[in-house]
Structure 1
Amino acid sequence: MPSYVVLPESGRLGWTLLELVFCLCILAVLTVYAMSAYHEHIVAVKRHEGKVALLKLMQQQENYFTAQQAYQTWAEAPAPSPFIWYSGLSAARSAYQLQAQACAGEAATRCIELHAVPGAKSVDQHFSDPVCGQLLLDSRGKHSYSGHGSRQQCW
């Protein structure tokens, strides 16, 4: 007995153009939403990278202060040896450039303020953090930021 394919009464075997367009629109909306969430996550991870680098640098500064009775300052990269001046494993792949300066109105023998500058000229210039901007940490334990985000977002 030969086998035959039984077609539905309507004769439809696929989707209409309108159904395909509708599915593609839904897929496009979901993709835009996913890309936005992914980008926000990447910025948050790089922000965390900057905070960790500031804490490591502050530890280096405190060790230096113990031996020299002063903190080391610099504004441009590279920092004096042995200090780190970028947040990642290499300067080219780092999101933040680190800087150290005396606190406002203080000498470098009393207080140091560390800055993590996003996308500076010596690191990945494509990175920016419009929510938090620069991350700051001083030797008195105060952390702050230059952007408009909340303290919970930025620190």
Structure 2
Amino acid sequence: MPQARGSSVAFRADGFSLVELMVVVAIIAILSAIAIPSYIKHVTKTNRVAAEGCLSEYSNYMERAYTTSLSYPASGSSAAPPKYSLDCATASQTGNNYAYSLDPATSSSSKYTLQATPQGTQQSRDTQCGTLTLDQSGTRTKSGTGTLDECW
């Protein structure tokens, strides 16, 4: 077949080949396999640190109440957590991830133990630390399998 003047015999393809596309998909899959678990671990730790801060706020509230009446609010009173809710415990802050309470078994007019119990996905993701507690002397505990330094 005769060629027209100025025409090229070479075939010119535009776009990506299937091999190039599969290489890009494989790279994205590898990066996702690394990044997503790391991100979830970071979010879990961030939620835990926010709960620790909220426990500290509740502890400050309890100490202010003690300086006013020379006794800590009883666990059943309207002035005691969680009936007295601070802003840090609202759903827009840490309330979706942790439930805060005053342990009635270890609380009295001269001592208290505050608890932050993980809820929902935080509960399933943070088995390392579990329920965090803080008492009137500043003693911090956790119920999970991790060390106290890892959790607090």
Q: How does the TM-score come out when normalised to structure 2?
A: 0.74
Distance 1:95 1:37 in 2: 19
What is the percent sequence identity of the aligned residues?
24
In structure 2, relative to structure 1, the CA distance for the partners of 1:57 and 1:21 (3 Å cut) is same
Distance 2:49 2:33 in 1: 25
Q: How big is each residue's C-alpha offset from its partner over 1:66-85, in whole Å with a ceiling of 9 and x where there is no partner?
A: 2233222448xx7333x439
SS at match of 1:127: helix
Amino acid at match of 1:94: N
Does 1:136 find its partner at 2:133?
Answer: yes
Does 1:65 find its partner at 2:66?
Answer: yes
Distance 1:110 1:117 in 2: 23
Shift of 1:145: 0.8
| Structure 2 gap ranges (5+) | none
Shift of 1:13: 5.2
Which region of structure 1 is more displaced relative to structure 2, 23-32 or 131-140?
Answer: 23-32
CA RMSD of aligned residues (A): 3.3
Distance 2:93 2:142 in 1: 22
| Structure 1 gap ranges (5+) | 120-124
Displacement over 6 Å in runs of 4+: 2-6
Amino acid at match of 1:41: H
In the other structure, the counterpart of 1:99 is: 101
Distance 1:100 1:85 in 2: 17
2:122 to 119, 127, 133: 127
Any conservation in 2 of the 1:132–1:147 contact (CA below 8 Å)?
Answer: yes
In the other structure, the counterpart of 2:114 is: 114
Shift of 1:93: 5.1
User: Larger radius of gyration, structure 1 or 2?
Assistant: 2
Q: How does the TM-score come out when normalised to structure 1?
A: 0.73
Shift of 1:94: 3.2
SS at match of 2:49: helix
In the other structure, the counterpart of 2:55 is: 54
In structure 2, relative to structure 1, the CA distance for the partners of 1:73 and 1:27 (3 Å cut) is farther
Any conservation in 2 of the 1:49–1:87 contact (CA below 8 Å)?
Answer: no
Which region of structure 1 is more displaced relative to structure 2, 21-30 or 129-138?
Answer: 21-30
Shift of 1:132: 1.0
> Which structure dedicates a bigger proportion of its chain to helix?
2
In the other structure, the counterpart of 2:150 is: 153
